[in-house]
Amino acid sequence: MRYFLDISYNGTNYHGWQIQPNAHTVQAEIQSALSKMLRAETAIVGSGRTDTGVHAKKQVAHFDVVQSWEPSQLTYKLNAILPNDVVINKVHLVKDDAHARFDAVERGYEYFLRMERSPFGLQESLYVPYKLDVELMNQAASKLIGKQDFESFSRVKTEVNNFICDLRKAEFIWRGDLLVFEVKADRFLRGMIRALVGTLIDVGRGKLTPEDFVNIINAKDRKAAGKAAAPHGLFLTQVDYPEDIYLDFGEGKR
């Protein structure tokens, strides 16, 4: 039987999502808790990676078990073992061939910027000590919409077949005193959102024009884009799947 885990975590104390030698990662933490609970080594597969210091309000991972479990019991027991900075929001029973990574149809991220100094939220938002022209930033961000090549915003050494992503939303909005970059797409490249934010900050500072930003997209060269924004302002917030992969069981689909 296959289950999906709906996960939130604060990435401050972790070297990203993916298991790696001699590093404290979110995936390793959850696998350890799950294996302890099930009394058998149990691997999980995530919807994608997040880097060191990046957070998630909604990450999804799948795992397989022979014995059926009530989803609410899995949720309760896992949260009793996991540290406070990793939380299982919900567990879903899904089709046996459902895949957390390959079946995702849309992903969403948010990047948080603050314009004023504050002793709060230091690891969940980036302080920008410059006045930004948000209108210009949104003019540039609008050029990201659609299916196109985003090689200029991808890490240079990455194993992908292509750099094409279909962006459905890219916009800066105010939430109180925080400026939030909301972005949604079918997929994202490694380091892409942080590179986008860093380059769009240069637009907001007047160092680049929206036309310059278009030229950077067309250059297909990471050296053309700006410096990547720091990881701690970034949150994975959305991973969506076709409704028909969820099975009615216990708490239902969602």
Phi and psi torsions of 191, nearest 5°: 75, 5
CA–CA distance, 241 with 107 (Å, rounded to integer): 9
In the numeric block, which tokens belong to residue 139?
A: 């003019």
Chain-centre distance for alpha carbon 165: 15
Distances, alpha carbon 143 to alpha carbons 66, 174, 216, in Å: 48, 20, 11
Pick the catalytic residue from 51, 166, 212, 248: 51
56/7 Cα distance (integer angstroms): 8
Active site residue 51: yes
Q: How many CA atoms lie within 13 A of 244 on its CB side?
A: 0
- Look up residue 110 and give its two tokens: 């948010």
**Strand 55-64 vs strand 234-240: parallel, antiparallel, or unpaired?**
parallel
Is 3 flagged in the annotation as binding? no
Instruction: List active site positions.
Output: 51
| Residue positions forming the annotated binding site | 109
| Residue positions forming the annotated binding site for substrate | 109
